[in-house]
Amino acid sequence: MEFDFLLDILKNGEYAGLFLWILIGSTTLPLPNEIIMMTIGMAASKTPSNVVPIFFTTLAGVLVAVSTSYFLGRLIGRPLLVFFAKKKRFSKKITSSLRLMDKYHAFSLSISYFVPGVRAIIPFLYGFSKLSFRKFILFAYSGATLWLFIMFSAGYLFGEHISPNFSGELSLITILFIVFLFAIFKFFRKNKIREASEDDHFVPTKLSAIQKGSPD
């Protein structure tokens, strides 16, 4: 990822380019999404007058990406799941996602962005299970917005302490972020889980259930 290229996009106000860069880059770049969003925040700090449109353009890209995952699961979920379930690497991630969903119900959508390896899978699985889009928006969008706000703010405020060559060291801010997230999670967990479990659609808890098909 070229930091100067991203900075040029932001300075020129090319928000459509930023949107596409996020939408494509978040799934193709060999970097954690946290690094990508921190980088955007860091670049935004160089153009403070544009920080608001930059943030909301980034948020739009994130929400479209997670919604795309949901609709892929809803429309063509079965063949994709059967295919990926045969891949050892993906089957482990799917199993981890199903366990998280079984434990936290729709609230797992809110926390999935904070769990590496499942943030794209859980929305996909809830699309497959035909969770209503309205409820998907409630839980997925709130979690994604909080996650982005933290990552973007970290890059904006502490970007100078993040290595520009993306060595993978996220510094102290990552630890503080995890502690902050855990405190929020513990505070809201009980009420959210109770609300989420009231009308959840069926979610298979084993890969074998996926391969056989979900019930009507």
Task: Kindly report the average pLDDT of the chain as a whole number.
Answer: 76
Q: C-alpha dihedral over 70, 74, 75, 80, to 10 degrees?
A: 80
Tokens coding 52: 């608001």
Rounded mean pLDDT, 47-51: 83
| pLDDT value of residue 165 | 45
The string over 185-211, giving b where at least 16 C-beta atoms fall within 10 Å of a residue's C-beta and e elsewhere, is eeeeeeebeeebeeebeebbeebeebe
What is the C-alpha separation between 163 and 35, in angstroms, rounded? 10
Q: What is the pLDDT of residue 1?
A: 47
pLDDT 10s digits, 159-215: 665 544 443 444 455 545 555 655 555 555 555 545 444 444 445 544 555 555 443
Length of the chain: 216
The number of CA neighbours under 13 Å toward the Cβ of 167 is: 7
Indicate the range of 32-46, 100-114, 150-164 predicted with least confidence: 150-164
Most confident of 8-17, 87-96, 118-127: 118-127
Q: What is the mean pLDDT of residues 58-77?
A: 93
Q: What mean pLDDT comes out for the span 59-87?
A: 89
Between these two residues, 138 and 23, which has the higher pLDDT value?
Answer: 138
> Burial, 90: exposed, middle or buried (Cβ in 10 Å; 0-12, 13-18, 19+)?
middle
pLDDT band of residue 148 (cuts 50, 70, 90) is: very high
**Highest-confidence segment of 88-92, 102-106, 174-178, 187-191:** 102-106
Q: Does the global pTM surpass 0.75?
A: no
**pLDDT at res. 72:** 93
What integer pLDDT is reported at residue 208 of this predicted model?
54
Percentage of residues of the chain with pLDDT beyond 70? 66
Report which of residues 31 and 126 the model is more confident about. 126
The pLDDT score that the predictor gives to residue 57 is 93
Q: Which pLDDT value is given to residue 132?
A: 94
pLDDT tier at 50, thresholds 50, 70, 90: confident
